[in-house]
Amino acid sequence: MPRGDLFPDIAPYETGLLPLSSGHVMYWEQVGNPRGQPVLFLHGGPGAGAGAVHRRFFDPHHWRIIIFDQRGAGRSRPLGDLRDNTTPHLVADIELLRRFLGIEQWLLFGGSWGSTLALAYAQAHPERVTGCVLRGVFLGRRQEVEWFLYGLRRVFPDAWGHFASHVPVGEQEDLLTAYLARLCNPDPAIHLPAAYAWSQYEGLCSTLLPNPDTVAHFAQDRTALGLARIEAYYFAHDLFLRPDGLLAGMAAIDHIPAEIIQGRYDMICPAESAFDLAAAWSRARLTVVSDAGHSALEPGVRTALVAAVERFRRRG
């Protein structure tokens, strides 16, 4: 897939491992201009981890780009570990990283679950956030989880059929419980096939048109296990969000400017949530990409994301 509208590949100028609670260790990196405007990249999932391509949404001459892998995800260790792995723990980890790096304020950039975590962090620490660029909005509501588990079969019956068939017919009425039991089983012969089935289902449904590269990425061992196990665990616990939901906390961040980028045909996180968020946020600008699905690397979505970040650069 040509990605000429992203910035060129770039290596980090600094990487590190930050000890957290309960034996977790966070991988983090800094990219771009060490004296630049700070921006924090929040990956999706939960549990998907970040990659080299995510550095390329930002002009490295202007931005001090901070990327990290959340607890149990990507290059953080232990992979797929669920101990003390909740949204409040992730919010606290972000604050720990901010203080460790000596950053006063930063722009938040997150898609899918990354948009959820950005909202949760911003609502907890609004004084630390200069703005938000959010993509494929996921508010963590029960109906959004139910759509992922069952509603997607209306559009992707083949992908859903393969996903559901990983468990016996008698367990398919509660796919989340069935998958979580297998994903948390200590035997790799049980949890790895379940992780591949869950992760490939998400990859198959993430783009407007079939994209073998996207599916292959989701099938990688590191991505599949972290994503599937942590995502199922979070789903089973209502994403560890406040009982009244993220929309109830919008007063705390209504003064913060935001750019919301949404693929019209996003099947993982349907557009309804982006519209609901924009309606609750007076300083949010919503851009709907008419020919795109969920992935940040859909051509129209990545172009819109780069443009949104550039608008924040011009704001200073």
Residue numbers annotated as active site: 112, 266, 294
SS3 for the chain is CCCCCCCCCCCCCEEEEEECHHHCEEEEEEEECCCCEEEEEECCCCCCCCCHHHHHHCCCCCEEEEEECCCCCCCCECCCCCCCCCHHHHHHHHHHHHHHHCCCCEEEEEECHHHHHHHHHHHHCHHHEEEEEEECCCCCCHHHHHHHHCHHHHCCHHHHHHHHCCCCHHHHHHHHHHHHHHHCCCCHHHHHHHHHHHHHHHHHCCCCCCCHHHHHHHCCHHHHHHHHHHHHHHHHCHHHCCCCCHHHHHHHCCCCCEEEEEECCCCCCCCHHHHHHHHCCCCEEEEEECCCCCCCCCHHHHHHHHHHHHHHHHHC
Q: The tokens of 288 are what?
A: 């709907």
Contact 48, 229 (CB under 8 A): no
d(CA 228, CA 230): 6
